Amino acid sequence: MRIRPVAFVVAGVLVLAGCGGSGAEDAPNVPPLVPVSTTPTETPSETPSQTPSGPPTSKVADTLCVRMDQTLVQKTLAVPVVQIQPKGVPAEFGLPTYDVCQLGLSTSPSGPVLRVGISVLPATPATLAAARKAYDATKAEPAKPVTLGQGGFGTSRFVVFLLDGKLLKISGPPATVAKYVVLGQDALQQAPGLPEASPLITREECERGSSRADKVLSAPAMIRRDSETDAGDLVCGWITATGVLYTSVRRVADAEKVIAPARKAATSESVPLGDEGYVDTASGRGIIRVGTDKIIDLVPLPPGKADKDDLIAFTLAISPLYTR
């Protein structure tokens, strides 16, 4: 997969790739994302006059979700509809971290989705092996090897495979490994020529935490992924070759119930933030409750590697974005 670097600025939109046409003859008619101004041809005239121009034309950002065969997705997963979701979604933070786009699989805004991700950092067979080892450690559904790209693994909910120096991940509702392999084969065919996302997708608000994030990660971030959730809550992310640090918000029915385990944990250290906040001195993870329905997560990866004082300093620096 040859990926051409394309620099662009994104305000709260995480996409797997930059801008461009879908290139598919049967590309769906979806709401526009990127405005493209058109300038009318000027005709010389002795009497200057203003000629009204029409509204600007638009096109959809070029992602794997745009390129994939929607009919194939619908038949493979036996879903009623497949719809491109034009609004960007936050990155899927982890080791590795993925840039993600989504296909809606129902007419309900809260219905199931198919998530298609490309790793933000280069990947090798060793990266794939580490991802498999990390998944196996969760003791979830046993993964099976799959024949996709340069190798991969999958379950009834996802496939992950290596393709030309990146990991691709396709995940969604329960199906079978074989069905996700079919979707992976389509993604593999559509991937060549995708422009690569900018390494630095930032929000000005998140900069208040950057210097402290560098200390937590022991290096400046080489990848940034800032965005917002569907509810409009800010997401900030810093990524290096060996670590990840991100902040996000969960809207929950009972925030006090969600934070109760942290309140009781022997490794929790209280921080004076929000209505109550804690930093787990074992994992480094921070959690803050604001009101009855808002939980702020501050997550360093891998867990337990960062200095506790650096984590607390980062939490104090970034928390006003969420607690004021």
Task: Give the pair of three-digit tokens for residue 247.
Answer: 């902040």
Say if CB 131 and CB 121 are below 8 A apart: no
pLDDT digits (tens, 9 = 90+) for 165-220: 999 999 999 999 999 999 999 999 999 999 889 999 999 999 999 999 999 999 99
Phi, psi of 77 (to 5 degrees): -95, -5
- Entry pTM: 0.80
Structure-token match 């490994």, residue found: 177
Sign of CA dihedral 114, 119, 124, 125: negative
Which residues of the chain are in CATH 3.40.1000 domains? 60-190, 200-323
Quick one: pLDDT at residue 296?
A: 98
Query: Residue type for 306, please?
Result: A
Q: Is the pLDDT of residue 68 over 50?
A: yes
Domain 200-323 part of CATH 3.40.50: no
Quick one: pLDDT at residue 61?
A: 65
Quickly state the pLDDT bin for 85 (edges 50, 70, 90): confident
| CATH code given to domain 60-190 | 3.40.1000
In whole angstroms, give the CA distance from residue 96 to residue 119.
Answer: 6
